[in-house]
Structure 1
Amino acid sequence: MQTVLITGANRSIGLETVKQLSAKGLFVYLGSRNLENGKRVVETLNKQGFQNIKAIEIDVTNPESISKAKNIVENEQGKLDILINNAGILGNTPQLASDFSIQEIQTIFDTNFFGVISVTQAFLDLLKKSDSPRISNITSGLGSLTLHSDPTWKYYNIKTAGYGTSKAALNAYTIVLAYELKDLSFKVNVIDPGYTATDFNAHSGPGSVESAASFIIKHTLTDNNAPTGQYYSNDIEDEIGISPW
């Protein structure tokens, strides 16, 4: 049985991804900053028939929390097959480049960028023990520099000095990480689940959490011939969904 850790998984897209992976027979660590909240979610999922799920406390901005989570996975499983770095924050809006505070930008980067790096580096040794390790970093279309430079893009007018730039940085880091691991069996990609109706955006997105989670899983549970270092987006209207960087 493959083992997966999903950060920020106690609600919205992360939670739906937990459900779908559990239904596929994987063992899922449901990452939550608050352990009691996570346990309540798992209890509800169990009543709904979902099995092989365990809540695990992990705050991606807290090194001690990450270390404790890593030790739990190591002691219980001995390895990790899949890491889905899903935890993220939007921050306050609007986010104008001219006056959005550096402190607020740093707060966003702490979760969306540095948090991903911290979790990835902590779990890398456990992932290397897997026969087919996968790292999926959940990004956004707002992290695409190419699309943001195209006035015809449907979201061209949505500019965020903190959130979008943090996702662009995450995309760049993923390219570097994928290159470093390219000669191993790793597949490391960034996945944009699309503009989805969640608490994250006051349910303003047109997409469903079911579609978003399915898209994440499609590009995570891949075979050994699949690409690495790729940028997939559920908002790209073709069969594969490759996004420009």
Structure 2
Amino acid sequence: MTSRVEHTDVGAYALGLLEEDDRLAFETHLLGCGLCRAELSDLSGMASVLSGIGPVEDRAPPSPEPVVSLLRRRRAAHRRTRRGTFVLGMAAAVTLVAGGLAVGTQLAAGSAPTVAQGSDGHMGPAEQFYADGAPIEGRGVDGVTGGLVVESKAWGTHAALRLAGVKGPLQCELVSVGRSGERRVMTGWSVPPAGYGVPGSPDPLYMHGGSATPLKDIDHFEVVTSAGRKLLTVPPTA
């Protein structure tokens, strides 16, 4: 499982769709990610809502398979696609169920998962959130560039990071630094030797992160290595 997509597996984990190796890796990730734990709590009732829901009889061939089984088949067929699009499709499916619409018909017919309006279907959730927001540019060192899109939440602060110009191998963390000096790790990842946003590996890294510190109490954000080297500093507002 790559750091680019591990934050997008919450919906698949909630439905029990992850294969064994991905499930174990995601459970390890949950131990250090408050944002994913909060999202998992919100989605905890999804499997029970979807199980037992089958295709609408007058609009699709009769089938005893529940929606969860159909989603499993879709995941197996599209395993190489980005998980972010799949999870967005599941979220849209749950919304349709709540509205009493014929989700089973769409899934049985093999239609593509619905994605949020304005998405091109190729962005992961962190990249989409960054693209739709107002990025705050950071100050980097040694050619490192990047920025954050931040929002205040009831539980603290949510951020999407864009990072480029960094080569590995490195272990990095996004940290919120409070006005009181308190430091909180928002998320962590590994930078492979090829790096991100550099020649030969031009794509930047996009990551979600969460801090329990309210946005109004944050002095700045930092991207730091496990050795304590500061790569990027971002103010809380532009």
Pick the structure with more strand per residue: 2
- Mark the structure with the bigger radius of gyration: 2
TM-score, normalized by length of structure 1? 0.31
